[in-house]
Structure 1
Amino acid sequence: MKKDKKPLRNIPQIGKLLEDPFFMEIQKDFSREEVLFGIKNSIEEIKSKEIGEMDKESLKERILKETLNFLKYPFRKVINATGILIHTNLGRAPLIKTEKEIIENYSNLEIQLKDGKRGERNSLAEKILNYLTNSESSIVLNNNAGAVLLLLSTFAKGGEVIISRGELVEIGGSFRLPEILKESGCVMVEVGTTNKTKISDYERAINEKTKAILKVHQSNYRIVGYTEAPSVEEICQLAHKRKIPFFVDQGNGLLFEIEGFSLKEEEPILNLVKKGVDVITFSGDKLLGGPQAGIAVGKKDYIDKMIKNPLYRALRPGKETFFYLQETLKYWLKKDFKKIPLWKLAMEDISKLKKRAKKIQKESNLDLKVEEDISQFGGGTTPTYNLPSVSLKLEAKNPEKVFRFFLEKDPPIITYIKENYINFNLRSIFEEEDKIIIKRLKELKENENL
């Protein structure tokens, strides 16, 4: 007889669950409405999955567990043990811990404190961005895709944009550059081949319909070997000679070189401005270490027109973005990078990581291996650049079960499985989180089922 994989008949009635002693107990900490919300969501979750046959008591336990998870609410802190510092699934770059009084209260988002007149929110970050990048003007948007969309919608709508075939990128979440170009109302003109594009390819493509030349950072991949591409200076010279704007979607926000990090593939924004690029777009979190945002810097005439575009209002960010961006840029100004959480993690000395790993190994009293490893910035940046790291490796008979054990804790610990080992890469773990990992490892040891 075929088993019922969706045991709907055994799911208890919601009214009876609410009166059940276990569910009554959690109503001491949560309102009846919250518990009802949790139960309904838990049942929907169970219905959507093929979990096999379960009796009523087992189902009740499952619903209770799922309800408690729902009542913690979806948006939660996690510990990142993956070794990927800018992890898209984990909220990108960690933010500066600072006083939140400004964003929790009224603020001067759009008021000029010198005279009480209405101001422009973009002015909150403009001066410091201009100073750090040596640009004439700048604008902050909700993300870099939004910045590119606004840029092309403002200057290339109804016309052609020239781009190298080797730069038609797709990054996380199925974001494809050609789709952004299409949505902005311009026609994409591909030049060159996947591995070789010459300055003459760009020149031949220019005609009366050409509105701009766009160069795009290759993000999370590289083409190596038999390759060729014109320099930024060459394209800039050609574009300006033909009176066409030249834009660069750089993606990452490395404002200028940071001592000790040879990120040769990531040209700093400051350098691109100096080379004469009209507008450069980049992210507020990738390498910059701030909130997710889109930033455009460049020549004032171009930025002013972008601000006047009605689309800008739909793409501008809220006060939280400006607050965290302002706090992050302060430390770029001071060159005090260890105050920026992303760079604090990246700059942690390997000897200190080894010392921390041995302490966790000793205090957890588990058979953990301490091994040298690598880490990456992630987030579509520096795909060939590895940061030295140290990992704790725990052998598991059932690694998937152990992975879920850490995932279900509060806060959840996001590890990864490799060759039957649960891995904790310390490069992406803050030192103050070590004690939580030790506690969870001790709990794991006491769990006879694992």
Structure 2
Amino acid sequence: MNNLRKIPSVDSILQHESVKRITEEINPEMVTALVREILQETRKRVSEGQTLPQNETIVDRVIEIASTRWKPWPQAVINATGVILHTNLGRSPISTESILSAGKASEGYSNLELDLATGKRGSRQAQVSQLISDLTGSEAAIIVNNNAAALMLGLASIANGKSVIVSRSEAVEIGGGFRIPDVLAQSGSRLVEVGTTNRTYAKDFEDAIDENTGALLSVHASNFKIVGFTHSPNIGELVKVGAKANVPVLHDVGSGCIVDATKYGLAKEPTPQESIDSGVDLCFFSGDKLLGGPQAGIVVGKKDCINKLSNHPLARAFRIDKMNLAALNETFLHYLRGDNETKIPIWRMISASTEDLLLRSEHIGESLSITTETVKTSAAIGGGSLPGEHIDSVAISIKTKSPDEVGKKLRHANHPVIGRIEDDRFILDLRTVLPEQDPLLLASLKQIFS
């Protein structure tokens, strides 16, 4: 009981010079509430028999929590993991031009929903939708806030109250608990699985169609592979089945790759252009994967189907914001101008030569006081795109007694660096580090090894 009485008052902690400095930057009421919270924790621990902490210890706790709870977020990190589309690190970084475009869209007013020619209300979708249609060959397009929302909107608009036929091998979980059967249920449609896990044919879809069929759905296996004795109908075959029965065909291609991935030594990835050419009614893809733009869900397809999506109540709930819309517009302009390989970060990473990576690794290694080794390795695409695909890469290898400790120190450097551990070595894969980040990477290495 005596120790409880020795716990300092809220005012005495607030009068400490270090805490006063916090109140100069943060709302004093918030700081006061934090001090009360910490003193309450202290009172509980002391009542349970723990030692009464010194006042300075309590102040240090206030400073620690304030600095972590009320800080700018998210924090920029250097991705040296070798995973290009790293979900935990925010997936695709966007181009400088896209960043500037997003900034301009939000720093002042804009013609987001105003037609400057007529002075009347316009559509936030019109400009970007036309650009997407020009690039993909679709009749129309609509953009929402992510691809899961896009698929949900498509199913709810086209097949609500009806059945949707899906190959058993494609009734998958895409990630984060996002499962195709659950999406179908939430959209108001009913799942009808056909075929087997490893082999499904166009005839399986045809045989399952009845008067209550609302759509045929094909989902690209973007984050897994089924190999061996397998068969799946191509999208063109499904379009023929759908056309014969007057049933719309929906195609989720996932990654949003609109260039030929084989040019970079990667496996063939289905593109929205090919999907449209095959005659699908709707094609869905992400903005922040192989497209290299901001988070967005993009739907391209036939105008009458896109109109149904645009007029559905969920379209407002899933609406994309102006910053991401501006960044997405700029991303598509890169493809229109043909400078995507030199401007969009993920395509800069994918197209970088191993010779350039070797030179960069040697330069960084020579600038350090510790011994490092330049090693050949392989980078992954990641982010639910091109599963199992790797690209030759080059890494800085640091031999150390404690790779975990090196990783921890680099995560806490002024410019945090995220690498990986292989064979008791800490690896910094330069495939996912842009050349302009080399000075920051070098500074972080010098900081922890000084």
User: Do these two structures clear the TM 0.5 threshold for a shared fold by scoring above it?
Assistant: yes
**Residue 395 of structure 1: how far off its partner (Å):** 3.0
Q: Secondary structure at the match of 2:408?
A: helix
Matching residue of 2:240:
237
Counterpart CA distance in 2 for 1:162 and 1:428 is 39
* 1:149 and 1:181 in contact (8 A); partners too: yes
1:184 has 2:183 as partner? no
**Residue 121 of structure 1: how far off its partner (Å):** 0.8
Amino acid in structure 2 at the alignment position of 1:144 = N
Query: Quick one: structure 1 residues 14 and 378, their matched pair in 2 at CA, closer, same or farther if it must change by over 3 Å?
Result: farther
Show structure 1 runs of 5+ residues with no match. 1-7
Matching residue of 2:280:
277
**Residue 74 of structure 1: how far off its partner (Å):** 2.9
**Residue 397 of structure 1: how far off its partner (Å):** 3.0
Counterpart CA distance in 1 for 2:83 and 2:159 is 36
Matching residue of 1:334:
337
* 1:10 and 1:55 in contact (8 A); partners too: no
* 1:197 and 1:229 in contact (8 A); partners too: yes
**Residue 427 of structure 1: how far off its partner (Å):** 1.1
Counterpart CA distance in 2 for 1:45 and 1:406 is 32
C-alpha deviations, 1:100-136, integer Å up to 9, x for none? Answer: 2233211111110111100111102011111110111
Matching residue of 1:20:
16
**Residue 38 of structure 1: how far off its partner (Å):** 7.2
Query: What does 1:98-117 correspond to in 2, within 5 Å?
Result: 98=97, 99=100, 100-117=103-120
Matching residue of 1:67:
66
Query: What does 1:294-313 correspond to in 2, within 5 Å?
Result: 294-313=297-316
Counterpart CA distance in 2 for 1:10 and 1:173 is 48
Q: Percent sequence identity over matched residues?
A: 37
C-alpha deviations, 1:359-396, integer Å up to 9, x for none? Answer: 11111221222211111221100012212211122233
C-alpha deviations, 1:258-282, integer Å up to 9, x for none? Answer: 5732444411111111111111000
**Residue 398 of structure 1: how far off its partner (Å):** 3.3
**Residue 426 of structure 1: how far off its partner (Å):** 1.0
Q: TM-score, normalised to structure 1's length? A: 0.89
| Aligned partner of 2:400 among 390, 393, 396 | 396
| Aligned partner of 1:144 among 138, 143, 147 | 147
Out of 389-398 and 277-286, give the one that drifted further. Answer: 389-398
**Residue 171 of structure 1: how far off its partner (Å):** 2.5
Query: Quick one: structure 1 residues 171 and 59, their matched pair in 2 at CA, closer, same or farther if it must change by over 3 Å?
Result: farther
* 1:38 and 1:70 in contact (8 A); partners too: no
Matching residue of 1:373:
377
Show structure 2 runs of 5+ residues with no match. 45-49
Matching residue of 1:247:
250
Q: Secondary structure at the match of 1:181?
A: helix
The CA RMSD measured in Å over matched residues stands at 2.9
Counterpart CA distance in 1 for 2:227 and 2:7 is 57
Query: What does 1:2-13 correspond to in 2, within 5 Å?
Result: none
Matching residue of 2:47:
none
* 1:215 and 1:249 in contact (8 A); partners too: yes
Matching residue of 1:350:
354
| Aligned partner of 1:266 among 269, 287, 290 | 269
Query: Quick one: structure 1 residues 118 and 25, their matched pair in 2 at CA, closer, same or farther if it must change by over 3 Å?
Result: closer
Counterpart CA distance in 2 for 1:115 and 1:396 is 67
Counterpart CA distance in 2 for 1:346 and 1:298 is 29
Counterpart CA distance in 1 for 2:160 and 2:187 is 6
C-alpha deviations, 1:280-329, integer Å up to 9, x for none? Answer: 00001111111110000011111011111111111110111110011111
Counterpart CA distance in 2 for 1:437 and 1:38 is 36
* 1:366 and 1:441 in contact (8 A); partners too: no
**Residue 21 of structure 1: how far off its partner (Å):** 4.0
1:407 has 2:411 as partner? yes
Matching residue of 1:95:
94
* 2:261 and 2:269 in contact (8 A); partners too: no
Amino acid in structure 2 at the alignment position of 1:202 = F
Amino acid in structure 1 at the alignment position of 2:200 = T
**Residue 203 of structure 1: how far off its partner (Å):** 1.5
Query: Quick one: structure 1 residues 267 and 11, their matched pair in 2 at CA, closer, same or farther if it must change by over 3 Å?
Result: farther
Amino acid in structure 1 at the alignment position of 2:379 = S
Counterpart CA distance in 1 for 2:406 and 2:35 is 26
Q: Secondary structure at the match of 2:283?
A: strand
Matching residue of 1:3:
none
Query: Quick one: structure 1 residues 201 and 352, their matched pair in 2 at CA, closer, same or farther if it must change by over 3 Å?
Result: same
Q: Secondary structure at the match of 1:64?
A: helix
Out of 140-149 and 12-21, give the one that drifted further. Answer: 12-21
Q: Secondary structure at the match of 2:152?
A: helix
**Residue 239 of structure 1: how far off its partner (Å):** 0.9
Counterpart CA distance in 2 for 1:198 and 1:43 is 67
Amino acid in structure 2 at the alignment position of 1:19 = Q
Counterpart CA distance in 2 for 1:18 and 1:409 is 30
Counterpart CA distance in 2 for 1:409 and 1:45 is 30
**Residue 54 of structure 1: how far off its partner (Å):** 10
Matching residue of 2:228:
225
Matching residue of 2:81:
82
* 1:11 and 1:60 in contact (8 A); partners too: no
Counterpart CA distance in 2 for 1:45 and 1:205 is 62
